[in-house]
């Protein structure tokens, strides 16, 4: 598991207790992983099936490498203009799709080689917020350090969710079955 907050920052916030540091770090890491639906580590994805269309947005992003792509049982080559595919950060473009339902099978690696700096900054801000909540016992006021100007301000509406919302760019979909035609969607009035 990757560390979202450095040891020196944790020592500054919680100088007296290593167990407190570990507890807070584990809680914040889980909170960020649950919110973003990713661990930010390179993760192999094997044999994910998609409908055979020209543009396929993969379930897990960003794409670090593609191991194999088959369309209706035919192995495709990367950067091949006639029967192949092109890889972008969040999607794969097929040059000549077969148009078969669940006909494309992709094995790839997704994630990050390094944790984005904003994710680390949000993790540190969450640790500060938790420390403040524990010392002030639930007061609504919190001194937050704005990332843009590095000045402290009082924020009456701050919450963990508001801090986490800065990570909306990295939130992975829970399921993309509806966008890929995962079955009938029935809407109606009872």
pTM: 0.68
Instruction: Give 10-residue mean pLDDT values along the chain (190 residues).
Output: 82 81 88 87 91 88 91 87 85 89 92 90 89 64 49 56 86 58 46
CA distances from 2 to 115, 151, 171, 178 (A): 8, 29, 17, 32
- pLDDT confidence of residue 21: 83
Domain ranges for the chain: 7-39+116-169, 43-110
- pLDDT confidence of residue 155: 53
* Residue 27 to residue 56: CA distance in whole angstroms: 34
* Residue 133 to residue 137: CA distance in whole angstroms: 5
């Amino acid at each position: 598991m990757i560390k979202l907050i450095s040891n020196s920052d944790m020592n500054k916030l919680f100088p007296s207790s290593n167990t407190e540091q570990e507890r807070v770090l584990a809680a914040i890491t889980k909170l960020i992983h649950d919110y973003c639906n990713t661990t930010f580590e390179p993760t192999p994805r094997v044999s994910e099936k998609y409908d055979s269309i020209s543009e396929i947005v993969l379930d897990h992003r960003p794409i670090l490498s593609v191991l194999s792509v088959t369309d209706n049982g035919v192995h495709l080559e990367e950067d091949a203009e006639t029967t192949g595919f092109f890889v972008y950060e969040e999607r794969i473009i097929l040059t000549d799709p077969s148009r078969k339902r669940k006909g494309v099978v992709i094995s790839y690696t997704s994630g990050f080689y390094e944790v984005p700096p904003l994710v680390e900054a949000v993790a540190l801000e969450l640790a500060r917020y938790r420390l403040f909540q524990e010392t002030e016992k639930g007061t609504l006021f919190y001194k937050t350090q704005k990332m843009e100007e590095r000045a402290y301000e009082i924020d009456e509406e701050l919450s963990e969710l508001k801090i986490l919302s800065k990570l909306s760019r990295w939130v992975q979909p829970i399921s993309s079955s509806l966008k890929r035609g995962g079955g009938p969607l029935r809407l109606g009035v009872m």
